[in-house]
Structure 1
Amino acid sequence: MSATARKTAPLPDDIRGMKGGTPIVSLTAYTTPMAKMMDGVCDFALVGDSVGMVLHGMPSTLGVTMEMMIMHGTAVARGLSKTMLVIDMPFGSYEESPQQAFGNAARLMRETGAAAVKLEGGQHMAETIGFLVRRGVPVMAHIGLTPQSINTLGGYKVQGRADQAKALMADATAVAKAGAFAVVLEKIPAKLADAITAQIDIPTIGIGASAGCDGQILVVDDMLGLFTAFKPKFVKRYGSLGEDGEAAIRTYAEEVRARSFPADTHVFSDKAPGN
């Protein structure tokens, strides 16, 4: 069934069931208006911790807090009825222990209405993923370039080249075996992404990976051209809203200074209409 024909939001098992079928469509969302635009068009919307960089001007995702994720997650939930909501677990909210992860995942789901959480990490997070899934928390995994680990990865580099490929394949296998219902593959070689997609039995969601993945995700502000600080190679801009917005603001400022705005049609007379 197409996303546009769906009357209720899918659940994690529905996304899992899309493996090998019609590609899964996803975007990030941070606000109610943006969520409304993608509702029923995307299969799931991700409240990503990229919100720290995109909306709050942070240099990385490391400063994002649980409170920020809950605030934006709640806002996005208000705009969705036909698209599944997934929310990122922020840095420091799940790495310490499976018990810590469960407490914070339960809080995120309870306070935002999210159907699932996403966390970063492969083999070393498999125990935590299994712990959460067995306790009723659906988990989307995330391997390859994991932005919360940029300080140990040495920056936003392509992952999985040469001798790294075997380890990434092991990461994908581990998270699938642990019970994740899908896995994001970020910034890895296309051939490796295709091999992982063929190897594991859960959907792969690509971002800078391969068109052969089971689905794709982009940061919505990137693809709309709203975020212009930099443009990753894997981003296609489907709009130039940032440039359009800057031009509109300049025109507004010019009209205010020239006193051509507000015009007569934008102000009120002494008498009510009809009097």
Structure 2
Amino acid sequence: MVSPMPHSAHDPVSGTPSWVDVATRDLEASKEFYAELFGWEFETEHHPAIGDYTFAMLDGQPVAGLHALPNRLSDYPTWNLYLRMRRIETARARVRRLGGKVHYGPLEIEGHGSLLMLDDPSGARVGLWQPTRPWRFVTRRPGTFGWADLNTHLAHRADSFFATLFAFTPRQVGDGKRFDYTTWWLQGKPYLGRLAMGRDYPPEVPPHWMIYFNVSPRVGTDVTADRALMLDGAIEVDPFDSPYGRTAVLRDPGGATFSVIDPSRRAIVRYYDERFDD
């Protein structure tokens, strides 16, 4: 499920999406995959705090990041979301007070900003980011970030945590029982979504953020999904119509899951009850 695209990815308001990156066990294979799928090019920097970090570029503008996972069994390939945070030096105590778990930070990334990684009370990991200089994150174009949904079994905990941390206003989509999805708004604009994982999600599916990338209407979601398959990726959910565009859930060769969407292909879809019937 995806909601309307954010109005601006450059909005300095706390809580707005500020960056995405993928953690992968095979950096070169991931770069080849996304270069062919989205047309990305890459620039790598070395930072004392985090080691090598690769910026994905589209037409010379930064759109995402890639970094290698350490060789630990507890780490797994994933796409990560980072939210803008003002006064990040106070975030650690606030996150803990609200029931979240801080993994590390604030960690200064020299020349860029400060980072804090946490798990919200529903168990999903997310980053907080406070840049120290003008921060470029190009969005809302083919091959760039379009939206993010928090998928969780503990929806009300997540709603409460993020509403308090960022002053989000939730707006319910569906009846909240058979279909429970909310969009999170700031200053009259929708920025993120939250999906309560119902009975069609096995209990062992962990809470996670689903990152959506826009695709060109000239190419389309179906062709993009087929291309991912030819590039040794996988189609997790076949292309389907939604009120927000034609969408597919894909997996890259390293195992990180993400979605693609063609916003030009919006359809009138009723969230019917059969999906939730016993």
More helix by share: 1
Q: Same fold (TM over 0.5)?
A: no
**Which protein, 1 or 2, shows the higher relative CO under an 8 Å CA cutoff with sep ≥ 6?**
2
Larger radius of gyration: 1
Question: If each structure's strand is expressed as a fraction of its own residues, which one has the higher value?
Answer: 2
